C-alpha cells in the first residue's frame, strides 16, 4: 500500500498518522445512492422483536417491567451540559441528551440490540425448521425444555472485544445453544468471567480483534449446525441495531423533541468495527430522514472507520497500514479494520467523524457520574468529545434549536472496581487540568 499516494489524495491521513484529533467531513454526505437494505427490512426486524417479547420476558426478569421489550431511556442531561460548558470553555446552545444504551437489559450495551437480535433470528429459523412453531404462536414456549433440547443440537460462535460477546453469549446460552466466544487481548476479564458464569465457552487470544475473527469464522464453517455471528459483515446484526431508530422516534415525540429543518438533531455514535453505529445511523436516516445527522467518534489510535471511509478502501485498509498501533483504553472500539458493510452503506448517510484522545473519555466518565449519577464505560463517553470539534467545523449545527444526542453504548454491567478505577482516573485528569 502506497502511503505517500494516500496522503497526497487525503491530506488528513497525515494527522491520523500523528494521532492528532481530527474532524473528517464526508464529501458524499446527502447524495442520492442505492442502498442494499430497506425500511421494510427494519420493520421486519421490529416485528421479530415483538414476536420474541414473551420469550424475553419469561427468560430475563429485568425485562418484565417492559413486557419483553429491550430498550433504553433517552435522558435530558442539563447538569452534564453545564459541566461540559465549563470543561470546554464555551456555551452549548442546543439541548443535550444521553441515549443510555448503557442501561439496556440483558447485556448492558448497544450490542444487546444487534447481538441478541441475530440470536433470536437464528433460534426462530431452527424452531421453524425443526418444530411446529408458527409465527402467531406465543414465543414464550421457546423457553420450554423440549426446545432447549432442540437448540442444544446447534451452536453459536462469535468473535468480540467484549460487549458483542456478552450479548450474543448470554442470549444464545439462554436458548441452550452450544455457545463459544473468541476474544481478543482487549477484552476485559470481568466480561470473560460473566460469560463463563452463563455457561459460555470462552477462547482467549493474545492478539487483536481483526486477527481473532478469521479463526472464529473458520471454526463455525467446519460445523453445519453452527451459526457464526459476523461482526465484520452481518446484515442481521445491522438490522437489529437499526430498530433503535424506530424506538427513538417515539421517544422524541413523547419528550417533545422536534426533528425538522429548523430543529436538526446530531447523534454522536462511538465506532469500533462500525457495525452498531452504522446500523443505528442507517435506521435514523431511513426513519427520520435528512434532518438527523449521524457522527462517528473514534480513538486517535484506532480510527478504522474514518480511515476506511476517507480513502473509500473500507475494510481493505487497517490502521496498522498507516503505522498506528490500534491500542486504546476504549476496549469496545479497539478494532483495527472496519466492517465490510459499514463504510459502503454509510457513504452517503454519515455526516462525518471525529477522533479523540483516550484521556478525554475518562474526564467525561467522571463528569457524568458527578453531575447525573450515571455510569458508562469509557468508550460510551466518546460522543461528548465530538460535540465541540463538530459544532466548530459545522457552525450551523451549533445553534439553539439543535438537539445533541450522545449515544452511551455500554457500562451497566461493569464491576464496581472498574467503575471506581475509571472514575478516579477521570477525576485526577480533571484536577490536573483545572490547576494547570
Instruction: Dump pLDDT digits (tens) for 228-283.
Output: 999 889 999 999 999 999 999 999 999 999 999 999 999 999 999 999 999 999 99
Mean pLDDT confidence for 123-145: 98
- 135 and 145 Cβ atoms separated by less than 8 Å: no
Query: What is the mean pLDDT of the segment spanning 105-123?
Result: 96
| Lowest mean pLDDT, pick from 176-190, 366-380, 384-398 | 176-190
pLDDT on residue 269 = 98
Q: Where are the domains of the chain?
A: 3-37+66-107+237-434, 109-235
Q: Where are the beta strands (DSSP E) in 246-351?
A: 265-270, 292-299
> Which residues face 160 on adjacent strands?
183
In CATH, what number does 3-37+66-107+237-434 get?
Answer: 3.40.50.1100
Q: 109-235: what fold? A: Rossmann fold (3.40.50)
Cα–Cα distance, 99 to 247 (Å, whole number) = 11
Which positions ≥6 away from 31 have C-beta within 8 Å? 348
* Same fold yes or no, 3-37+66-107+237-434 and 109-235: yes
Question: Nearest-CA neighbor of 228 among 291, 164, 174, 143?
Answer: 164
CA angle 217, 220, 224 (to 5 degrees): 140
Q: Give the residue ranges of DSSP H helices in 198-274.
A: 209-221, 235-254
Report which DSSP code applies to 403: E
Please report the pLDDT score of residue 161 as a whole number. 82
* Reported confidence tier of residue 432, pLDDT bands at 50, 70, 90: confident
Q: How far apart are CA 169 and CA 210, in angstroms?
A: 19
- pLDDT score, position 380: 97
Q: Which uninterrupted H or E stretch holds 183?
A: strand 178-183
Q: How do 155-160 and 178-183 pair as beta strands?
A: parallel
**Cell output for 401:** 434549536
Mean pLDDT calculated for residue range 360-366: 98
**What letter does residue 314 receive in the DSSP assignment?**
G
Q: What's the pLDDT tens digit per position in 19-35?
A: 999 999 999 999 999 99
- pLDDT above 90 (res 56): yes
Is it the case that residue 210 has pLDDT exceeding 90? no
- For residue 436, pLDDT over 80 is answered with no
The upper half-sphere exposure of residue 385, i.e. CA atoms within 13 Å in the direction of its Cβ, equals 29
Amino acid at each position: 500500500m502506497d502511503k505517500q499516494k494516500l496522503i497526497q489524495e487525503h491530506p488528513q491521513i497525515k494527522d491520523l498518522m500523528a494521532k492528532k484529533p481530527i474532524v473528517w467531513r464526508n464529501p458524499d454526505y446527502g447524495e442520492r445512492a442505492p442502498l442494499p437494505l430497506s425500511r421494510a427490512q427494519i420493520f421486519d426486524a421490529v416485528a421479530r422483536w415483538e414476536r420474541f417479547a414473551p420469550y424475553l420476558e419469561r427468560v430475563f426478569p429485568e425485562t418484565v417491567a417492559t413486557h419483553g421489550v429491550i430498550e433504553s431511556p433517552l435522558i435530558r442531561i442539563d447538569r452534564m451540559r453545564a459541566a461540559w460548558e465549563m470543561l470546554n470553555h464555551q456555551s452549548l446552545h442546543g439541548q443535550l441528551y444521553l441515549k443510555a444504551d448503557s442501561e439496556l437489559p440483558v447485556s448492558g450495551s448497544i450490542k444487546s440490540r444487534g447481538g441478541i437480535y441475530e440470536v433470536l433470528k437464528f433460534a426462530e429459523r431452527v424452531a421453524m425448521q425443526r418444530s411446529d412453531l408458527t409465527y402467531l404462536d406465543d414465543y414464550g414456549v421457546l423457553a420450554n425444555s423440549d426446545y432447549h433440547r432442540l437448540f442444544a443440537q446447534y451452536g453459536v460462535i462469535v468473535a468480540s472485544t467484549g460487549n458483542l460477546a456478552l450479548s450474543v453469549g448470554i442470549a444464545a446460552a439462554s436458548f441452550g445453544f452450544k455457545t463459544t466466544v473468541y476474544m481478543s487481548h482487549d477484552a476485559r476479564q470481568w466480561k470473560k468471567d460473566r460469560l463463563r458464569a452463563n455457561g459460555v465457552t470462552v477462547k482467549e487470544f493474545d492478539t487483536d480483534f481483526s486477527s481473532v475473527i478469521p479463526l472464529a469464522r473458520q471454526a463455525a464453517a467446519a460445523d453445519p449446525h453452527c451459526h457464526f455471528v459476523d461482526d465484520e459483515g452481518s446484515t442481521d446484526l445491522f438490522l437489529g441495531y437499526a430498530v433503535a431508530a424506530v424506538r427513538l422516534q417515539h421517544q422524541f415525540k413523547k419528550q417533545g423533541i422536534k426533528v425538522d429543518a429548523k430543529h436538526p438533531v446530531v447523534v454522536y455514535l462511538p465506532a469500533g468495527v462500525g457495525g452498531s453505529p452504522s446500523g443505528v445511523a442507517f435506521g435514523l436516516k431511513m426513519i427520520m430522514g435528512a434532518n438527523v445527522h449521524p457522527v462517528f467518534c473514534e480513538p486517535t489510535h484506532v480510527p478504522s472507520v474514518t480511515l476506511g471511509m476517507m480513502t473509500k478502501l473500507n475494510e481493505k485498509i487497517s490502521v496498522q497500514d498507516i503505522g498506528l498501533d490500534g491500542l486504546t483504553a476504549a476496549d469496545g472500539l479497539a478494532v483495527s479494520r472496519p466492517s465490510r458493510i459499514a463504510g459502503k452503506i454509510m457513504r452517503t448517510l454519515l455526516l462525518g467523524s471525529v477522533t479523540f484522545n483516550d484521556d478525554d473519555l475518562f474526564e467525561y466518565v467522571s463528569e457524568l457520574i458527578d453531575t447525573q449519577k450515571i455510569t458508562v464505560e469509557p468508550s460510551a463517553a466518546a460522543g461528548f468529545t465530538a460535540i465541540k470539534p463538530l459544532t466548530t467545523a459545522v457552525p450551523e449545527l451549533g445553534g439553539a434549536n439543535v438537539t445533541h444526542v450522545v449515544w452511551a453504548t455500554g457500562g451497566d454491567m461493569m464491576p464496581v472496581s472498574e467503575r471506581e478505577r475509571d472514575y478516579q482516573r477521570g477525576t485526577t485528569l480533571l484536577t490536573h487540568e483545572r490547576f494547570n
